[in-house]
């Protein structure tokens, strides 16, 4: 039996998401992000939900893996609310 090696992108693509449109489970205050110089969320989020464009941090909750890392590392108060998605919404992890 051989085990097929998959890249992180391939593995992430196996997951399914039920996006709760218009009801984000994480809220980010961009005015706080503007004051944040370290911006650890840009590197620690495994789903790359945080991206920087033209010096501004943008957040997209649709692909969130619900790991909670951004909540822990955000020391500037940018993550103003963090909850799990409502029942039946969010990520469903799959191995194959």
**Which residue in the set 12, 20, 24, 65 belongs to the binding site for ligand SF4 (CB under 6 A)?**
65
**Which residue in the set 68, 83, 86, 94 belongs to the binding site for ligand SF4 (CB under 6 A)?**
68
Nearest CA to 56 out of 31, 26, 81, 24 is that of 31
**Which residue in the set 43, 67, 86, 93 belongs to the binding site for ligand SF4 (CB under 6 A)?**
67
Assess 14 for contact with ligand SF4 (CB under 6 A): no
Please, are residues 94 and 16 in contact by the beta-carbon 8 Å criterion? yes
Strands of 1-96 (E only): list them: 16-18, 26-28, 50-53, 56-59, 79-82, 90-92
Q: How far apart are CA 69 and CA 67, in angstroms?
A: 6
Stretches 3-11, 12-20, 34-42: which one binds ligand SF4 (CB under 6 A)? 34-42
Residues binding ligand SF4 (CB under 6 A): 26, 28, 32-33, 36, 39-41, 45-47, 49-50, 57, 64-70, 74, 76, 78-79
């Amino acid at each position: 039996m051989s085990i097929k090696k998959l890249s992180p992108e391939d593995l992430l693509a196996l997951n399914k998401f039920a996006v709760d449109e218009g009801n984000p489970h994480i809220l980010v205050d961009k005015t706080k992000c503007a004051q944040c110089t370290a911006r650890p969320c840009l590197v620690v989020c495994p789903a790359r939900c945080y991206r920087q464009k033209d010096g501004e941090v943008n957040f997209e909750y649709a692909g969130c893996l619900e790991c909670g890392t951004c909540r822990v590392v955000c020391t500037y108060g940018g993550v103003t609310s963090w909850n799990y998605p409502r029942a039946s919404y969010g990520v469903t992890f799959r191995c194959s």
